[in-house]
Amino acid sequence: MKDKIISLLAAFETENIGNSFPLDYCLPVYHCVSDDNLPHIKHIIQYKNTKQFEEDLDCLSKYFQFVSWSEFKDFVKGNFKPQKKIALLTFDDGFREFYDTVLPVLERKGFYACNFINPAFINNQELMFRCKASLIIDEAEKEKIADPEIYKMLSMENPSKEDFKQQVLKISYHQRDLLDQLTEKMGIDCDTYLREHTPYLTTEQLKTLTQKGYGISSHSWDHPKYGELSLKEQMESTDRTFNYLKENNFMYESFAFPFTDFGVKKDFFDELFKNEELFCCFGSAGVKLDSVEQLFHRIPMEMGTSGKEILKKEIAYFRLKKIINKNKIVRK
């Protein structure tokens, strides 16, 4: 219902997105761009292919000016006066496709991007728990006869493939052992998958990206949902990643929430910004303001539609929320 109203309103948005965009900065977030079928991502993220990604970039660059990290910082401090509203391109999760597929496009166009990575997965040491969920769903879809034992592990009895998928997607960070049990039961060897497909960037690639001027920054240690963690757990994951970035001479001035900042309370931000070397952090609530001034919200660009459509919807939604005074997240 909500989505239908937004789509309807978006249809009335003007063609000049640059004028109607309500903020003076636009922060798109992607995970992956690929022309291939990627079983470890396809059931959790609707990633775009190269053509769709380039169309997004062309649309964005028509209305916005892409900036580098230092320009973004200067802009926030009021020391950078852009010609258009600015856009800072960001990528999460540190997938290898950033190096193989995205980098050539960005180098050709001369655009900067910042990568928010999880050190636990760099060099293909481990697969993020959600990627394991994607592999499980992929395997289940291929199988003609399902094993009732597998359903039993999820307390399900003869579910539809869709119900099974939804149940697997519900498995949280704290329940991630269950995903390991499921992969084992289904004969999915995550270590072999990591070795054969190398889904993540390597330290070598991160160093090359840094040399080329691209940002490598924090997305937490191993991608927990922060709203489900205690303050102590939140800070452990954050500090450990900060130290890793600093040791490797990567960019330790920013942090992007894994999944979402939803449910994260003010006490975390108070603790986070005790670290004076941290400039800001990023959420992904779309076009939205926040009572935490150093928290900037990004626009998820992998929603199954074109970048232009996504921006129009975001503009329409922001306008709607403004009427009812709900366009700012207030943390307590």
What six digits make up the tokens of 329? Answer: 């997240």
Q: Are 276 and 266 in contact (CB under 8 A)?
A: no
- Tell me the closest approach of the beta carbon of residue 168 to Zn ion, in angstroms: 18
Contact track, Zn ion, 211-230, x by CB under 5 A: --------------------
Could you tell me which stretch among 92-100, 101-109, 147-155, 321-329 binds Zn ion (CB under 5 A)?
92-100
Stretch that binds Zn ion, among 37-45, 104-112, 242-250, 251-259 (CB under 5 A): 251-259
Strand blocks (E) in the chain: 25-26, 28-30, 64-66, 85-87, 90-92, 114-117, 215-218, 254-256, 280-283, 289-290, 295-297, 299-300, 328-329
Alpha carbons 219 and 201: distance in angstroms, whole number: 14
Rule CB under 5 A: say whether 261 interacts with Zn ion.
no
Alpha helices in 64-211 (DSSP H): 69-77, 97, 103-109, 129-142, 148-153, 161-169, 176-186, 190-197, 203-211
CB of 258 to Zn ion, least distance (A): 5
CB of 32 to Zn ion, least distance (A): 11
* Residues 187, 141, 223, 156, Cα dihedral to 10°: -80
User: Which residue number, 209 or 316, has a Cβ lying nearer to Zn ion?
Assistant: 209
Measured between alpha carbons, how far is 142 from 61 in angstroms, rounded to an integer? 41
State yes or no: residue 302 binds Zn ion (CB under 5 A): no
Q: Which residues contact 82 (CB under 8 A, 6 or more apart)?
A: 65, 67, 71, 75
User: By C-beta, is 183 or 218 nearer to Zn ion?
Assistant: 218
Q: 84 vs 10, 37, 55, 71, CA distance in Å?
A: 22, 37, 19, 13
Tell me the C-alpha distance between 224 and 258, whole Å: 7
- Using the structure block, give the residue that is written with the tokens 């309807």: 8
Closest CB 34 distance from Zn ion, rounded Å: 16
Q: How many residues bind Zn ion (CB under 5 A)?
A: 3
The answer to whether the beta carbons of residues 115 and 91 sit under 8 Å apart is yes
Q: How far is the CB of 92 from Zn ion (least distance, A)?
A: 4
Q: Pick the closer one to Zn ion by CB: 93 or 314.
A: 93
Options 16-24, 89-97, 158-166, 225-233: segment touching Zn ion (CB under 5 A): 89-97
225 vs 312 by CB, closer to Zn ion = 225
Please identify which residue in 92, 97, 138, 290 interacts with Zn ion, judged by CB under 5 A.
92
Instruction: For Zn ion, give the closer residue by CB, 165 or 225.
Output: 225
Q: Which of 250, 276, 328, 307 is nearest to 60 (CA)?
A: 307
Which window, 37-45, 86-94, 153-161, 247-255, contacts Zn ion (CB under 5 A)? 86-94
Residue 93 contacts Zn ion per CB under 5 A: yes
- Residue with Cβ nearer Zn ion (13 or 302): 302
Shortest distance (Å) from residue 128 CB to Zn ion: 8
Closest residue to Zn ion: CB criterion:
92
**Options 39, 94, 215, 258; binder of Zn ion; rule CB under 5 A:** 258
> Which positions lie near Zn ion, rule CB under 5 A?
92-93, 258
